A and B are shown apart, each in its own frame.
Chain A
Amino acid sequence: MDPCIQDWAARIQAASQKKQALCIRGNNSLGLCETTPEQTLDLSGWQGVVEYDPGELAITVRSGTPWQTLLHVLEEQGQIPACSALQTHPTRTVGGMVATGFNGPARPWLGDVRGAVLGVAMLNGQGQLLTFGGRVMKNVAGFDLARLQTGAWGRFGPILEISLRTRPAFQHCRYLRLEAPLDALPTLRQRLQQAPLTGLAWYQGNFHLRLQGLPAGVQQAAEQLGGDEDTGFWARHESLQWPIYQQQPLYRIVLPVLDMPVSQPWLDTANDVLVDWGGRLLWLATDMPPATLRQQVQQAGGWMQAWPATGPAALPASRAAVVDRLQQAFDPAGVFRNNPFQEAVHANPTA
């Protein structure tokens, strides 16, 4: 066995016997593992492509591989991940992307991070090396404990390897800007039903569209839509570089879809707002008391999280209880339970 894995496994076993906590650290881009080396499992050096065969539409990498490296490796073969991940930080690792599970701007069209996960190799709280899922697209053997790791923030143990679905990169791309109030969203969505869309956002009085696909389809849609060529928006949006992302307090709000005409009080009083996912995701800078905002978001059928996220979002009580029981199943001694990631959950279990 690889000496690194052997070492981690032994340390987890020791910690489990002594009921000590360990913090799983990627490259610490969120700054959450401010622990001593003895209390840290450092996976940041655990990098590299394990297997990549473009014809299989799948890639397997070690979890400490930077997401950017993954993108480059795929790009060389004309592929992209079969999902849209939120590039919260330029140095994020693939493991971090999967463990946090935040989705990026193309989520409604390209798919979500959890959906792209095909398999993982991980260590559980007893230091056992386990493999779930695989490298093939269709696989229903046993419980899906691979995708379960998405959004788990390392709670069930460190992910060592991840197999992700890939897909062909788009042959052609056009960016368009349409100046219009947010109220025009439903009409626009209707017009865009058949368009090869991978992005529909609204920011500061403009809709920003990204069309990707085969050249003929993209050109046809672009001609029908009109509007201006729009080059600057998407790169800055994908890397979270618009002014709104620097504002505080800032919230990321996932919604069924924004009701129209826009009547939500949170929008009227906001300092700034960016609407993404064609109306299903809001970035909201507001001074509204968080509790009031949360209540309104819940009424609208959504959930929210203060940004930047420093831990998993709070879960409703019944679901938090299930996650607790699952944690017991993976990590009976609670080695990964008390790491800093978890505090947010336990501080606010019923929010």
Chain B
Amino acid sequence: MNISNEQVPLPPACEQALKALLGEDLLTSPETLAPYECDGLSVYRRLPSAVALPRTREQVAGALAICHQHGVPVIARGAGTGLAGGALPQAGALILSLARLNRILAVDPERQTATVEPGVRNIQISQAAAPHGLFYAPDPSSQIACTIGGNVAENSGGVHCVKYGLTVHNLLGLKVLDDQGRLLEVGPPLLEQPGPDLLSLFTGSEGLLGVVVEVTVRLLPRPEATGVMLLAFDHNEDAARTVGAILAAGLLPAGLEMMDRLAIEAAEAYSQAGYPDCQALLLVEVDGCAAEVEEQMVQIEAIARREGMTQLQTARDEAQRQRLWAGRKAAFPAVGRLAPDYYCMDGTIPRKRLPEVLARIRQLSDHYGLAVANVFHAGDGNLHPLILYDANQPGELERTERMGGEILRACIEAGGTITGEHGVGIEKLGGMCEQFTEAELKQMHAVKAALDPEGRLNPGKAIPSLHRCAELGAMHVHHGQLPFPDLERF
């Protein structure tokens, strides 16, 4: 844990120049800075040196140029809902909030695109597109709060990734300012761009390669019909197998979520969604034209029965659908009532390893004496174990973090990754040392240096220094089941 309330001021000349540019929109007094001391990973806090709240792209560019001139690091920030400490302040750095660049610049129904500023909240895009019968597909659970700029920086997912992909699959173009405030257009915003795929390079780069100031996304026609099914099981394994069987049968549901016993009980107690008494459940959403929805539901029911489903609930109208989703959507706050604190993990594994990794998590839970609730994107193999703990008990947070580290190690060993959608930030720097070799990390640092030679954009996040890996003693020891296992390493 890293709590520091000491404010390290910016160099006076830098602060003066920023003040001249931004006036009241530069915050420097401790009271006004407090809301920016952490993001969604609130166990880590640090008071920023200053916060800039520009309203225009020109001001963003100006602030970056000033920081360049004075050698001051810059940490971009959206809504601060990130769960990996990506927007955590650093002593002597400027927090550059993009939240006020919040205009929807264009919604074009013919082109099926929306062009927006980075501070626009995720849900606002779908709201603006709705009158045209269109929507923006990626829908993180935080969508009412998180910004599209943050989504791009984290390559965020949502419950509909199985069919519609992550942020990266739904982007057409970006405008990015570099470390000096110069504009780079990663576009034109089209279904194909020439050259190496810079769009993907910037997506998920956690504010280390540039500041996103404009985003053009693809909009999709809202499906005519949607159906939701709740499938209940007596065993986690049956539910996990059903996930694979649905996909193997040639079906591609829009959403495919799983909850285990503890999560179900918590959700039911919290939201009375009418979930059945069972060990595990799947929520399956299917969409398309009405005939397709019916057909998918029939096929899925047959598969689930074969795999041992014990109960079925289906929803075809909006009210029923909302009810079935209510428990899932409330799952995090519901689990939050079971203990003073919970720690949300985020790893991805191959789907076939689900039963075994879930069993491993249970073992770890017993070993550490910390309860774990599982509610996750089963269709993508994206786990979100929620470890319940009490930060006021001495040593319990440390124990939780150690257990979290072991869960991520289990994900790597199963051939997966330490983060599916929440990013590395400061939280998973240790895991990066395990997932990547020294040469791979060096290559990432070289890419960082190519675009940000002074290393002033969100320094110290996302890609660990080799020094740090050595300190952790964690340099890529888990060769076991890494991707491309047949290729030996140097």
Q: How far is the CA of A102 from the CA of B249 in the complex (A)?
A: 30
Q: Which residues of B contact A (CB under 8 A)?
A: 108, 110-113, 133, 154-155, 157, 161-162, 165-166, 168-169, 182-186, 188-201, 203-205, 208-209, 221, 223-224, 244, 247-252, 288-289, 291-292, 294-296, 348-352, 377, 380-382, 415-424, 428, 431-432, 435-437, 439-441, 443-444, 446-451, 462-463, 482-484, 486-490
A-B contact pairs, 13 of them (CB 8 A): A55-B247, A112-B191, A128-B490, A131-B437, A133-B483, A135-B415, A144-B203, A144-B205, A168-B247, A168-B250, A216-B291, A303-B194, A305-B194
> Shortest Cβ distance from A174 into chain B, in angstroms?
14
Residue with the highest number of chain A CB atoms closer than 10 Å, among B113, B350, B441, B448:
B350
Contacts of A53 in B (CB 8 A): 350, 352
Q: Once the chains bind, are B350 and A313 in contact (CB under 8 Å)? A: no
Q: Once the chains bind, are B250 and A134 in contact (CB under 8 Å)? A: no
Contacts of B482 in A (CB 8 A): 131
Please tell me which stretch of A27-35, A37-45, A114-122, A243-251 contacts chain B, meaning at least 4 of its Cβ atoms lie within 8 angstroms of it. A114-122
Contacts of A215 in B (CB 8 A): 295
CB closest residue in chain B, given A186 = B110
Q: Once the chains bind, are A145 and B444 in contact (CB under 8 Å)? A: yes
15 A-B pairs besides A137-B381, A147-B201 with CB distance below 8 A are: A55-B351, A56-B352, A107-B192, A121-B484, A131-B484, A136-B348, A137-B162, A140-B424, A141-B424, A142-B424, A280-B191, A313-B194, A322-B450, A326-B196, A330-B443
Q: Once the chains bind, are A139 and B194 in contact (CB under 8 Å)? A: no
Query: Which of A131, A148, A170 is in CB contact (< 8 Å) with B196?
Result: A148
Contacts of A214 in B (CB 8 A): 288, 291-292, 295-296
Contacts of B112 in A (CB 8 A): 257
Query: Which of A128, A138, A145, A303 is in CB contact (< 8 Å) with B421?
Result: A138
Q: Once the chains bind, are B184 and A325 in contact (CB under 8 Å)? A: no
Q: Once the chains bind, are A221 and B191 in contact (CB under 8 Å)? A: no
Q: Once the chains bind, are A138 and B288 in contact (CB under 8 Å)? A: no
Knowing A196-B288, A319-B186 touch, does A102 contact B192 (C-beta < 8 A)? Answer: yes
Contacts of A144 in B (CB 8 A): 155, 168, 200-201, 203-205
Query: Which of A9, A132, A140 is in CB contact (< 8 Å) with B440?
Result: A132
Q: Once the chains bind, are A138 and B166 in contact (CB under 8 Å)? A: yes
Q: Once the chains bind, are B197 and A114 in contact (CB under 8 Å)? A: yes
Query: Which of A78, A124, A137 is in CB contact (< 8 Å) with B250?
Result: A78
Q: How many A-B residue pairs have CB under 8 A?
A: 300
Q: Once the chains bind, are B192 and A254 in contact (CB under 8 Å)? A: yes
Across the A-B interface, give the 4 residue pairs with the lowest CB-CB distance, nearest first: A147-B200, A217-B292, A168-B250, A313-B194
Contacts of B189 in A (CB 8 A): 256
Q: Once the chains bind, are B447 and A57 in contact (CB under 8 Å)? A: no
Question: Is there a chain B Cβ closer than 8 Å to A208's Cβ?
Answer: no
Question: Is there a chain B Cβ closer than 8 Å to A160's Cβ?
Answer: yes
Q: Once the chains bind, are A220 and B432 in contact (CB under 8 Å)? A: no
Please tell me which stretch of A15-23, A66-74, A89-97, A151-159 contacts chain B, meaning at least 4 of its Cβ atoms lie within 8 angstroms of it. A151-159
Q: Once the chains bind, are B191 and A254 in contact (CB under 8 Å)? A: yes
> Shortest Cβ distance from A92 into chain B, in angstroms?
17
> Shortest Cβ distance from A204 into chain B, in angstroms?
23
CB closest residue in chain B, given A305 = B194
Q: Once the chains bind, are A302 and B483 in contact (CB under 8 Å)? A: no
Question: Is there a chain B Cβ closer than 8 Å to A5's Cβ?
Answer: yes
Q: Once the chains bind, are B201 and A139 in contact (CB under 8 Å)? A: no
> Shortest Cβ distance from A304 into chain B, in angstroms?
9
Q: Once the chains bind, are A194 and B419 in contact (CB under 8 Å)? A: no
Question: Is there a chain B Cβ closer than 8 Å to A198's Cβ?
Answer: no
Question: Is there a chain B Cβ closer than 8 Å to A171's Cβ?
Answer: yes
Residue with the highest number of chain A CB atoms closer than 10 Å, among B182, B223, B291, B444:
B291
Q: How far is the CA of A186 from the CA of B244 in the complex (A)?
A: 39
Knowing A141-B424, A147-B197 touch, does A119 contact B483 (C-beta < 8 A)? Answer: yes
Query: Which of A131, A193, A314, A325 is in CB contact (< 8 Å) with B483?
Result: A131
Q: How far is the CA of A281 from the CA of B209 in the complex (A)?
A: 31
Q: What sequence of 0s and 1s flags, for each residue 161-181 of chain A, a beta carbon within 8 Å of any chain B beta carbon?
A: 101000111110000000000
CB closest residue in chain A, given B431 = A141
